[in-house]
Amino acid sequence: MTQPVRIAPSILSADFSRLGAEIEAIDRAGADWIHVDVMDGHFVPNITIGPPVIKGLRPHTAKPFDVHLMISPIDPFLEAFAEAGANTLTVHPEAGPHIHRTVQHIKSLGKRAGVALNPGTPAKMLDYLIDDVDLVLVMSVNPGFGGQKFIESALRKIEAVRKMIDKSGRAIDLEVDGGVDHETAPRCIAAGADALVAGTATFKGGPSQYAANIAALRGQG
């Protein structure tokens, strides 16, 4: 059984000159989680923010920080992001030599552990991880930039991961990130997703539009 759909606006598309105010605005507009994309210019071709920024943003909302770590090596930085205020730490299997050990480390820090699957990473990667993770993030674009076009093959992967989650009997979040808007969101949900990351689709139009944008992603617009 899928859980209620959660909307996680990606602050990558927010106005970086006023991030605290932007987070407060999407909180009021009905966001369930705050999605934080961390990029290192090495694992992905872009550089964003680090633990000090997350720590600075933490007082602006009580909503969970859904932190997507696109950095390599990953293990040396887990504690810093946990201490900065992350609630979920999502990592890529390719970002370190031992993904199972990385997941164990995240759990030992008292945080929820997520695993992200790039467009070229098969669902089968989860075969021996599904009993340990709290979230699976299916990337429907190649990571590194916001505003990209949705990759259609992600829908088959969402369906495959949904079957794995249901078979496990555990309440694991199935999240999708990349090109999610009012048109692709219902297709992701129909395939089995129950959490949607949306940057451009959430933040377009400015703060007065955020509530309507989030409602549209839920299919309520």
Which residue positions form the known binding site for substrate? 10, 68, 144-147, 177-179
> Any catalytic annotation for residue 177?
yes
CA distance 212 to 93: 35
Instruction: Could you list the residues known to form a binding site, using ranges.
Output: 10, 35, 37, 68, 144-147, 177-179
Give the active site residue among 66, 134, 173, 177: 177
Instruction: Could you list the residues known to form a binding site for a divalent metal cation, using ranges.
Output: 35, 37, 68, 177
Query: Quick check: helix, strand or coil at residue 6?
Result: strand
Strand duo 6-9 + 34-39: pairing: unpaired
Comparing C-alpha atoms, which of 16, 1, 25, 12 is closest to residue 213? 25
> Any catalytic annotation for residue 32?
no
Q: In terms of DSSP H, where are the helices of the chain?
A: 19-28, 51-57, 78-84, 99-108, 154-168, 185-191, 200-203, 210-217
Query: Quick check: helix, strand or coil at residue 136?
Result: strand
Give the active site residue among 32, 37, 134, 173: 37
CA distance 18 to 209: 17
Strand partners, 114: 90, 135
Percent helix, strand and coil across the chain, each rounded to 5? 40, 20, 40
Task: Enumerate the active-site residues.
Answer: 37, 177
